[in-house]
Amino acid sequence: MAIITVDHLRKAYGEKVAVEDVSFSVEEGEVFGIVGRNGAGKTTTVECVAGLRTPTAGTVTVDADLKEQVGVQLQECSLPDKIRVGEALALYASFYSRPADWRALAVEAGLDLRAPFGKLSGGQRQRLSVALALVGSPRVAILDELTTGLDPQARRDTWDLVSRIRERGVTVLLVTHFMEEVERLCDRVAVISRGRVRAVDTPAGLVARAGGEQRLIFHTDDPVDGLRALPEVASVTRDGGEVTVTGTGDLLSAVAAVLPPSRTRGLRMERTTLDDAFLVLTGKEES
Ligand SMILES: Nc1ncnc2c1ncn2[C@@H]1O[C@H](COP(=O)(O)OP(=O)(O)OP(=O)(O)O)[C@@H](O)[C@H]1O
């Protein structure tokens, strides 16, 4: 059952249209990603879902109590430097009627309760902001660019935290720029470009939409025209000594049957990645 339904959402700030027309629905218990380039309208969309902004047109339905059951972590977490992790969590917990065990949350997020906010690293601040979003025991957690600016280890620690949230059955709406994050965490993802949804699919489905194509690249002195007749092959191009064969299915075996690998040099294979799919779906330019 859908816990979040966004239907033809439009949001303008005066003359500036931030979200043109966005529709998607999120099932209970899934991690749903929203990706798009800078300024695509991602934050505005999730702020409308969180009830922090009022849509100009369209509707947002959240099947949960917004104040009690939706936890929000927005792009920057700022607290007074002197407040300690434990104090911040206790303060936020006091806002809710059924708060989570905030000490356990701090342990899970790898945070020291006595550490002052001003002394936390970027990764620790992000994990604190996630813990603060979870302190009310929400059914839905909205996380906006939670790993931007983090080093690879801090990013992985934050991903682990998100994986544990999902294991508890919390529905997660995740805004991100990182395709690796999408691949690791998201069940489905909406690709937004210029305020419109370009695709909603699983990460694998997005790759398939972008062609799901393989490329074989190698050097050979032999003729390669015969490869074009193979059903697996979509195109064959030669640029100087380098040959590129694109296609689908068991492309490598099909090509090897016609052109033995011993007649090629430097053979390598590339597949469409989620990054490629993102570029195809969002086009080359973004306002
Ligand atoms: N309060 C505001 N007033 C006017 N324009 C705004 C406001 N908030 C956002 N915008 C503009 O609306 C567009 C969409 O912004 P939004 O923050 O939703 O995009 P985003 O996809 O989250 O971008 P980013 O990845 O850079 O965070 C941008 O052009 C932005 O400059």
pLDDT at 286 over 50: no
Structure confidence by residue, pLDDT tens digits, 220-241: 999 998 999 999 998 999 988 8
Q: Which CATH superfamily is domain 2-208 in?
A: P-loop containing nucleotide triphosphate hydrolases (3.40.50.300)
CB atoms within 10 A of CB 251: 21
Residue 93 and residue 138: Cα distance in Å, rounded?
A: 12
Residue whose C-alpha is closest to residue 129's, from 83, 88, 171: 88
CB of 41 shorter than 6 A to ligand 1: yes
State residue 87's pLDDT score: 95
pLDDT band at residue 114, thresholds of 50, 70 and 90?
very high
For the CA of 44, the nearest atom of ligand 1: 18
For the CA of 75, the nearest atom of ligand 1: 27
Residue 158 and residue 148: Cα distance in Å, rounded?
A: 11
Q: How far is the CA of 145 from the centre of ligand 1 (A)?
A: 14
Whole-model pTM: value is 0.82
Per the model's pLDDT, the better-predicted residue between 13 and 214 turns out to be 13
Alpha helices in 41-191 (DSSP H): 42-49, 66-69, 85-93, 102-108, 122-134, 152-167, 179-185
ipTM at complex level: 0.95
CB of 15 shorter than 6 A to ligand 1: no
Q: Domain 213-271 has what CATH class? A: alpha beta
CA 272 to chain centre: 17
Within the chain, all domains assigned CATH 3.40.50.300 are found at 2-208
Residue nearest to atom 18 of ligand 1 (CA): 41
CB of 195 shorter than 6 A to ligand 1: no
Residue nearest to atom 29 of ligand 1 (CA): 39
For the CA of 19, the nearest atom of ligand 1: 14
Structure confidence by residue, pLDDT tens digits, 53-107: 999 999 999 988 877 788 888 766 678 899 999 999 999 999 888 888 999 989 9
Within the chain, all domains assigned CATH 3.30.70.100 are found at 213-271
